[in-house]
Amino acid sequence: MNYNYEDRVLRICPEGRIDAAGTNELTEQMKRLLDAHPAERVELDLERVVYISSAGLRVILRLRQAVPNTALVNVSSEVYEILDVTGFTEIMEVRRAYRTVSVEGCEIVGCGVNGRVYRLSQDTVVKVYQNPQALEEMQRERELARTAFVLGVPTVIPYDVVKIQGGGYGSVYELLNATNFAKLLIRGERTLDEVACMSVELLKIIHGTTVNPDTTPSAREQALSWAEDLKRVLPAAQYEALRGLIAAVPEDNRLLHGDYHIRNVTRQGEENLILDLDTLCHGHPIFELGSMYNAYRGFSELEPGAVERYLGIDLETAHAFWRRTLERYLDTEDDQRIREVEDKAAVLGFTRLLRRRIRRGGFDSEQGRAEIERCQALLAERLSRVESLVF
């Protein structure tokens, strides 16, 4: 029986069958471990346990009496059925084992700030998280997806959690014969104007939905934290101007996606659906447009080829799509009006990009320092032209 002890959490990993023949020995081993390692929580890892009898269940109950915060993890389907029938799933924390899947060679159908979405089969996709320890993030995204779904936003809800071969975790969604909007453009299945129209139509559904502010983060507070992180690198006047602009945006309970672009929207039959919901938040739509500006223009200002890698379309198409999106969203083709709103979005976009470069060690390399300097200049230029972020 292997074990691990860290931060007063004792993880015990028995193997084989837990039945009457071995319960006395198992009980003694657990007692010795608890005596040697005082624990606030015990996790009994049952990944290698193939069977558990009623005598074994009594061992678990005694363990739980000794340490009330005891959980059973990595439970196989066979053992889970025993625990469920006997009521253990109702009296203590029991977590199933995750099946393992491979995404090697799978088509990428979505891309966001926290992960990528791969097609596993004709019917299913999996979102793989960049953070290898992402189970809490995944649970949060599941809750946000349910919130959006209940509010009537066209989306899909993850129905399974899996381990990814090679490391990390993923959420599995049913997405039958769906094609993201980037693919529709690349394959010529829809014109740029048609895709922009569908994209804005779905975006307005999202922004037309109001939420309880306690269920999603505030986009305004997020942006204020970005500005605060830049306080030490911006001239005092620029920092005060930036913070003042963000603080002046009124709080708004409209739902925002937070990472909306053509690789996070998909067409399934006659329905358009949004993916990658871990960035859901609420606030004024300018915060959404700031994120969208980066996807279609901002990234390419700092990294040549970034848009092609990120969205799969060429830079000219990305710029044209962004322009048409603003025309559709604002319901105008007036150049001055569009430039005004784009400048507002760019302020937030470059604020986020500058913070990102700094947090990723930008000052540690010549290229990074050049990108930071470039981003500061672009942000300063937009700040000089903007008096308010509200439109």
The count of structural domains within the chain is 3
Question: 46 with 73: CB under 8 angstroms?
Answer: yes
Considering the domain boundaries, does residue 391 fall inside one? no
Same domain, 313 and 223: yes
Domain final position from 41, 62, 97: 97
Q: pLDDT tens-digit profile of 278-320? A: 899 999 999 999 999 999 999 999 888 999 988 999 999 999 9
Same domain, 89 and 35: yes
CATH number at residue 117: 3.30.200.20
- Average pLDDT value for residue range 172-182: 84
Question: 280 with 389: CB under 8 angstroms?
Answer: no
Cα(279)–Cα(291) distance, integer angstroms:
11
Considering the domain boundaries, does residue 370 fall inside one? yes
- Average pLDDT value for residue range 266-285: 90
Q: Is the pLDDT of residue 374 over 70?
A: yes
Considering the domain boundaries, does residue 208 fall inside one? yes
Which residue, 208, 368, 213, is CA-closest to 281?
213
Same domain, 151 and 271: no
Interior CA angle at 222 toward 219 and 223, to 5°? Answer: 90
CATH number at residue 36: 3.30.750.24
Considering the domain boundaries, does residue 251 fall inside one? yes
Question: So what's the pLDDT on residue 96?
Answer: 85
Q: Which residue would you say has higher pLDDT here, 131 or 206?
A: 206
Considering the domain boundaries, does residue 388 fall inside one? no
Question: So what's the pLDDT on residue 113?
Answer: 66
Q: Please tell me which of 15-19, 33-37, 221-225 the model is most confident about, judged by mean pLDDT.
A: 221-225
DSSP string, 256-315: E-SS-STTSEEEETTEEEE--GGG-EES-HHHHHHHHHIIIIIHHHHSTTHHHHHHSS-H
Question: So what's the pLDDT on residue 304?
Answer: 87
Same domain, 366 and 288: yes
Question: So what's the pLDDT on residue 86?
Answer: 92
Considering the domain boundaries, does residue 389 fall inside one? no
Q: Which residue would you say has higher pLDDT here, 156 or 259?
A: 259
Domain final position from 141, 174, 207: 174
**What percentage of the chain reaches a pLDDT higher than 90?**
70
Same domain, 35 and 18: yes
Q: Which residue would you say has higher pLDDT here, 203 or 269?
A: 203
Same domain, 186 and 232: yes
CATH number at residue 231: 3.90.1200
Q: How far apart are the first and last CA of the chain?
A: 63
**Domain span at residue 91?**
2-97
Same domain, 163 and 185: no
Could you give the residue ranges of the DSSP H alpha helices within the chain? 23-36, 54-66, 77-85, 88-91, 135-150, 181-186, 192-207, 219-229, 236-247, 285-293, 299-302, 306-311, 315-330, 335-359, 366-383
Same domain, 274 and 377: yes
Same domain, 227 and 137: no
Q: pLDDT tens-digit profile of 69-115? A: 999 999 988 898 899 999 999 999 998 888 889 999 998 877 766 78
- Average pLDDT value for residue range 163-187: 87
Same domain, 113 and 145: yes
Considering the domain boundaries, does residue 33 fall inside one? yes
- pLDDT band, residue 173 (cuts 50/70/90): confident
Same domain, 125 and 50: no
Q: pLDDT tens-digit profile of 128-140? A: 987 766 777 787 8
Domain final position from 59, 79, 97: 97
- Average pLDDT value for residue range 358-384: 95
- pLDDT band, residue 272 (cuts 50/70/90): very high
Amino acid, res. 42: V
Considering the domain boundaries, does residue 390 fall inside one? no
Same domain, 259 and 234: yes
